[in-house]
Chain A
Amino acid sequence: MAKGRELLGRIKSTENTRKITRTMEMVATSKMKRAVDRVVAARPYALALTDVIASLYSPELASDFPLLRQPADVKRAAVVLLTSNRGLAGAFNSNLIKEARATVAQLEAAGAEVQLHVVGRKGIGYFKYVGRDLAVQRTDITDKPTADDAASLVDTLMAAFAAGELDAVYVVQSQFKSVLSSPPASTRVLPVTRPTAGAATKDYLLFPSAGEILSALLPAYVRNAVYRALVETVAAEQAARRTAMKNATDNAGEMLNVLRRTYNRARQANITQEIAEIVGGAAALD
């Protein structure tokens, strides 16, 4: 019965693992719901801001704003990579890292000097491993990112861009399209691309002036783009973890079926053999 005991041990350990993955799946599901709520709650602000900037924007004003400066060629760029602090989320982090590497490679091929800003332990760990210098490393952004987190990430970049020290800023994030689809994407947040107007523009009275309003709102627009990237990435992380843990739980179930079948067969064989021995022994006495 030595084999049987060994199988029992494996059944027990698979059961325990399944318990853990099932719990993690449920935790990720509830965290994901709250993260999705935050993604949805962030939408009205972005819409309102885009609306007003689009209606005030005019090409003549563009040259007055450092954030709208369109450099002819990109000499220095920054890439902000958003990853998670924790693993066990399937290919979530490696997809983001792959996307960041592609973006960096593309910029460097075009002759730009690229500085990397990485959020999340997973991304930092990877770039440390490959020995790349990181301009900024952040692990303090939790799974409830705030508008202040976004501001602290991008304000220095905005200042550098306005001063002409940077020609482009990209953010590598996960786009949260749905629970099943959250592809990594790299978006350019600076220079600001002109938002397209949704509704027809009205004739507004502007205080103090179109230019002053734009100069107050453009930084808010950039910060908001980063804030939305943060909340979407968190939602995508939880969705990825949920899927990964669901697969692990399902696989554990399948493995348990096979192990239990093997164990029962071994036990049955053992009993059959014992009966045969008893019957054989009894027959020998006659």
Chain B
Amino acid sequence: MLKVSVISPEAVLFEGETASVVAPAFDGEVGILTGHAAMVTVLGSGTLRLADGQSFRVEGGFMQVADDEVRVVTEKASKA
């Protein structure tokens, strides 16, 4: 499982475990599964989807992946 946190300037919107993450990177969607290499990517705007069906609208910021931990740090986020 991946440990995922979705963080906006105002609050932590989500923190928990999920099997996969699909994030809107600057150049298209990126899917993250367990065992992904350590990565930092800039995000564009779009929908962030988790395996359990939850999704968030995000805009800007970045995603950091390291040791099965995914941090989505975005300037604007809301639950979709």
A positions within 8 Å CB-CB of B: 38, 41-42, 44-45, 48-49, 52, 56, 146-147, 150, 202-208, 212-213, 216-217, 220, 223-224, 227
Known: A41-B10, A45-B8, A205-B39. 16 other contacts (CB 8 A): A38-B10, A44-B7, A52-B73, A147-B9, A147-B10, A150-B9, A204-B38, A204-B40, A205-B37, A207-B42, A216-B60, A216-B62, A217-B42, A217-B61, A217-B62, A220-B61
Knowing A41-B12, A220-B75, the reply to whether A213 touches B61 (Cβ < 8 A) is no
Selected from B8, B38, B40, B64, the residue in CB contact (under 8 A) with A147 is: B8
A110–B29 Cα distance when bound, in Å, is: 51
Interface CB pairs A-B, < 8 A, 9: A42-B10, A52-B40, A202-B38, A204-B38, A205-B40, A207-B27, A207-B39, A216-B62, A217-B62
Residue of A nearest to B61 (CB): A220
- What string of 1s and 0s marks CB contacts (under 8 Å) between B67-78 and chain A? 000010101100
Is A213 touching B40 in the complex (CB atoms < 8 A)?
yes
B48: chain A residues at CB < 8 Å are none
Q: Are B5 and A220 touching (Cβ within 8 A)?
A: no
Looking at A45, A213, A217, the one whose CB has the most chain B CB atoms below 10 A away is A45
Of chain B, the residue at the smallest CB distance from A212 is B42
A48 B42 Cβ-Cβ under 8 A: no
B35 to chain A, nearest CB (A): 14
Give the distance in Å from the alpha carbon of A52 to the alpha carbon of B25 in the complex.
17
Q: Which residue of A lies closest to B64 (CB)?
A: A52
In this complex, what residue of A is CB-closest to B36?
A: A205
Given the known inter-chain contacts A52-B62, A147-B75, please indicate yes or no for A207 contacting B41, CB distance below 8 A: yes
Q: Which 5 A-B pairs have the closest CB atoms?
A: A207-B41, A147-B9, A41-B11, A205-B39, A48-B73
Given A208-B42, A212-B42, answer yes or no on A49-B73 (Cβ-Cβ < 8 Å). yes
Measured in the bound complex, the distance between the Cα atoms of B77 and A44 in whole Å is 14
Count of chain B residues with Cβ under 8 Å from any Cβ of A?
25
- Complex CA distance for A220 and B37, rounded to whole angstroms: 25
What chain A residues lie within 8 Å of B9 (beta carbons)?
A: 42, 45, 147, 150, 223-224, 227
Report if B1 contacts A (CB, 8 A). no
Residue contact A204 to B66, C-beta cutoff 8 Å: yes
* Total A-B residue contacts, Cβ distance less than 8 Å: 76
Q: Mark B1-36, 1 if CB is under 8 A from A, else 0.
A: 000010111111000000000000111000000000
Which residues from chain B contact A223 at a C-beta distance below 8 Å? 9, 75
Q: Which residues of B contact A49 (CB under 8 A)?
A: 73
The complex places the Cα of A277 from the Cα of B75 at a distance, in Å, of: 84
* A contact residues around B66 at 8 Å (CB): 202, 204
Per the bound structure, the CA–CA distance linking A87 and B3 in Å amounts to 46
Using CB atoms, name the residue of chain B closest to A144: B10
Q: Which residues of B contact A206 (CB under 8 A)?
A: 39-41
Q: Which residue of chain A lies nearest to B73 when distances are taken between CB atoms in the complex?
A: A48
Chain A residues with Cβ below 8 Å from B76 are 147
For A145, the closest partner residue in chain B by CB is B10
Most chain B CB neighbours (cut-off 10 Å) among A204, A212, A224: A204
Bound-state Cα–Cα, A52 to B63, Å:
10
Please, how many angstroms separate the alpha-carbon atoms of A203 and B37 in the complex?
9
List B contacts of A216 (CB < 8 A): 42, 60, 62
If the complex has contacts A52-B62, A204-B66, A208-B26, are A213 and B73 also in contact, measured as CB distance less than 8 A? no
